[in-house]
Amino acid sequence: MNNIIGVDADGVILNFLHQWEVAAKSALRRTISMQSGAYDLSERYQLTEKECTKVWNKFHNDNHWRMIPEIPGAAEAIKKLIGFGYEPHVITAIPQHLLFDRIFNFHKIGMPQLKVHCVSHNKQPKLEELSPFVYFDDNPAHIEEAYNVNIPHRVIIPAPGHQHTSHFATHVAINLANAVNHLIDTNVLMDLKRAPLLKRNAKL
């Protein structure tokens, strides 16, 4: 069994929307709230192009990439995967120059050291290269990309405001902690560190 696990960052490990709203409040001097489940942030918050640009400038200039809070339970879920003998790889759709900020952010929230891959908005080439046993994402487009390269288990964690999931997903969960626990309970994920011992005992 392949021990590589693929995990998205924003919306799965990190609460990106919360931090973007913090930056927006500072940039626009008002509180914004979600108006739709659109992935485009200007549509989601009903902002003009000028307002959206202003928020992004604030987000970049004030190092908000380093401040994004953990989605509750995500760090423990990653630690559980590592404890079971899996190798989590974060596949995140951000520019390569933000790699250090992302790693800094993970360290800040107490995440173990992870392999982080910054890719374009198309994750399919990296998914094909890594070929993880399980992939977790909140975006249906990336779940479809995982399907296209035959990732066996594709878990969608629907983004806030999204009622739909993806017919390319094999599992649906409310958050990463819930997803990992479910896959363990249903024996999709097993304790790989114990597996060799169990096999030896079975032969005795």
* Single residue among 30, 51, 66 that ends a domain in this structure: 66
Where are the strands (E) in 41-105, listed by range?
87-92
pLDDT at 166: 84
Residue 164: predicted pLDDT: 62
In a domain, 130, yes or no: yes
Spans of the chain below 70 pLDDT = 1, 162-164, 195-204
Range of the domain at 172: 4-14+68-197
Q: How far apart are CA 4 and CA 171, in angstroms?
A: 18
pTM for the whole thing?
Answer: 0.92
CATH number of the domain residue 90 falls in: 3.40.50.1000
Residue type, 158: P
Q: Are the beta carbons of 183 and 189 closer than 8 angstroms? A: yes
Do 90 and 59 sit in the same domain of this protein? no
Residue 48 lies in a domain: yes
Q: Are residues 41 and 72 in the same domain?
A: no
Residues 25 and 109 grouped into a single domain: no
The predicted structure's pLDDT at residue 200: 39
97 and 26 together in one domain: no
Per-residue pLDDT reduced to its tens digit, 96-107? 999 999 999 999
pLDDT score of 159: 80
Domain count, the chain: 2
In terms of domains, do 112 and 30 share one? no
Both tokens assigned to 143: 């779940």
User: Does 102 share its domain with 27?
Assistant: no
In this structure, the answer to whether residues 128 and 165 fall within a common structural domain is: yes
- Asked, for residue 57, whether it belongs to a domain, the answer is yes
Give tens-digit pLDDT for 26-38. 999 999 999 988 8
pLDDT of 123 reads 98
β-sheet with 4-7: strand ranges across: 115-118, 87-92, 4-7, 134-137, 153-156, 171-172
